[in-house]
Structure 1
Amino acid sequence: MSADISYLVYLVDDETTLLELLKSYLENAGYRVKTFQTGEEVLKVLAAEEPHLWILDIMLPDIDGYELLRQIRSKSEVPIIFISARDQDIDKVIGLELGSDDYLAKPFLPRELVIRVQKLLQRTYERSLLTSPVAGGQQFQDWTTIGPYRLSEKGRLVKEGEQAIELTTKEFDLICYLIHNQGQALHREQILSAIWGEDYIGSDRAVDDLVKRIRKKMPKLPLETVYGFGYRLTAP
């Protein structure tokens, strides 16, 4: 995949030499890159423009990468790649459980990072909804009613009455997937495969976090938890 110049990557690492090297490789691959060396710098931009992808070092001089990951995930499911000199399985597991999409232990070849960025961006932003398991190759009618909500697949809109509800890409895709499988109990692994892609290596806790955000925005959605299994959107 050739990089799209519109993709914006936020790169966070306190090692100046490595930061500049990785920035150079990513820019040569066609990405726009903004760099940060402290957690405080990151916190200042969280409410501003959101990148298409984060590359986040765990070991920072002030706020560790785990806390930054929690803060990012509380607002968004934008893809995150963790990088760290701590090449231990527990660090990888914690990162994935908190919601990172990939993990790369230092030292690594800059080209490997570029390839992982390309694949993650492709998986996240370039899968067509209509050819993915989300829609099952079908479209539903222009407006579909579910509880008090109306959903337009073509317009990627959800409304309650005349009030539009702002959803992220994955939030909208999950609701579509649930509607196309209404009444069925869906295992977390099924949802991961459909929404994140079959090659996703993170924890299924990402599904729970996504459902939590949807329920906060759409509290009247008839979405049930099937304990120990997954979720089910009940039929009207």
Structure 2
Amino acid sequence: MSTTETAHILIVEDEERLARLVADYLRAAGHRVQHLAEGTGVAAWVRRERPDLILLDLMLPGKDGLDICREIRTESQVPIIMTTARVEEIDRLLGLELGADDYVCKPYSPRELVARVKAVLRRTLAPEPPAADPGPLHLHRDELRVRAGDDEIELTAVEFALLETLHGAPGRIFSRDRLMDRIYRDHRVVSDRTIDSHVKKLRRKLAELVPDQELIHSVYGVGYRYETPADSD
């Protein structure tokens, strides 16, 4: 993986002049830059080339940025900064529906965009501080079992995938859509209530294992996060 000083960045932007300008600024900042002008084939390119960050325009020929972001997120957590001139879409981007790491509204300053890129890369590529305490749980994927001390419980495959996602990023908020993408790799259509039902059952089982701790917390209007009592102090 590249460092924050020499990241491999993909620009997906159909405005050629803007793409060239942004690429020049990013190269001046020390990054390696490549450019795609349409949405078709972006996910396959990302799978093949494995960039460190993607600047993804919302309105693209072939396939729009929303669909591309959803497609990439089914198999990669590469940082994505969305760019858009459609102000009405900002609420959707901020609502964590897509899993984008940041957004920039057009027209923007190339210097501001480079600063946003630097900030996102610092969070995702630089050596990270010690992870938040994952709490008392020890997950055993092969057996779909969760242990706490001398006690353990068995989960369904969906419940385990749900817990593994939340447990792996303590304090991070996951929207219901993001959880669906993580749990249902076959892209089946399920409702928000399905995720809520799985969370309810998972909480019930965890309460049997660690009755004195609430580990999965609801974030009103957004989704869920895993948090130990120590993290919330």
User: TM-score band, normalised by the shorter chain?
Assistant: 0.5 to 0.7
Structure 2 residue aligned with 1:98? 98
State the partner residue of 2:154.
none
Change beyond 3 A, Cα 1:147–1:210: same
Q: TM-score, normalised by structure 1?
A: 0.61
Could you tell me which residue of structure 1 aligns to residue 5 of structure 2?
4
Contact 1:3 1:29 in 2 (8 A): no
1:146 to 115, 125, 140: 140
What is residue 219 of structure 1 aligned with on the other side? none
**Which residue in 2 is equivalent to 1:178?**
167
Give 1:80's aligned residue.
80
Residue pair 1:225, 1:232 contacting (<8 A) in 2 also: no
- Give aligned-pair identity as a percent: 32
Distance change in 2, residues 1:146/1:61 (3 Å): closer
Distance, in Å, in 2 between the alignment partners of 1:177 and 1:69 is 20
Q: Deviations over 1:85-133 (max 9, x none)?
A: 1122xx123233122111111001111111111111111222526x231
Q: After superposition, give the CA deviation of every residue in 1:41-62 in whole Å (9 maximum; x if it has no partner).
A: 4244143121111110011122
- Quick one: which amino acid aligns to residue 110 of structure 1? P
**1:208 paired to 2:172:** no
C-alpha separation in 1, matches of 2:167 and 2:180: 16
Deviation at 1:3, TM superposition (A): 3.6
What is the RMSD of the two structures over their aligned residues, measured on CA atoms? Answer: 4.0
Offset of 1:71 from its aligned partner? 1.1
Question: Is contact 1:38–1:60 with CA below 8 Å preserved after alignment?
Answer: yes
Equivalent residue of 2:111, what SS? helix
Alignment partner for residue 227 of structure 1, among 182, 189, 200? 200
Is the contact made by 1:192 and 1:204 (CA closer than 8 Å) also made in structure 2? no
Compared CA separation, residues 226 and 8, structure 1 to 2 (3 A): same
Contact 2:36 2:42 in 1 (8 A): yes
8 Å Cα contact 1:8/1:31 also seen in 2: yes
Q: Which has the larger radius of gyration?
A: 2
**Partner AA of 2:179 in structure 1:** D
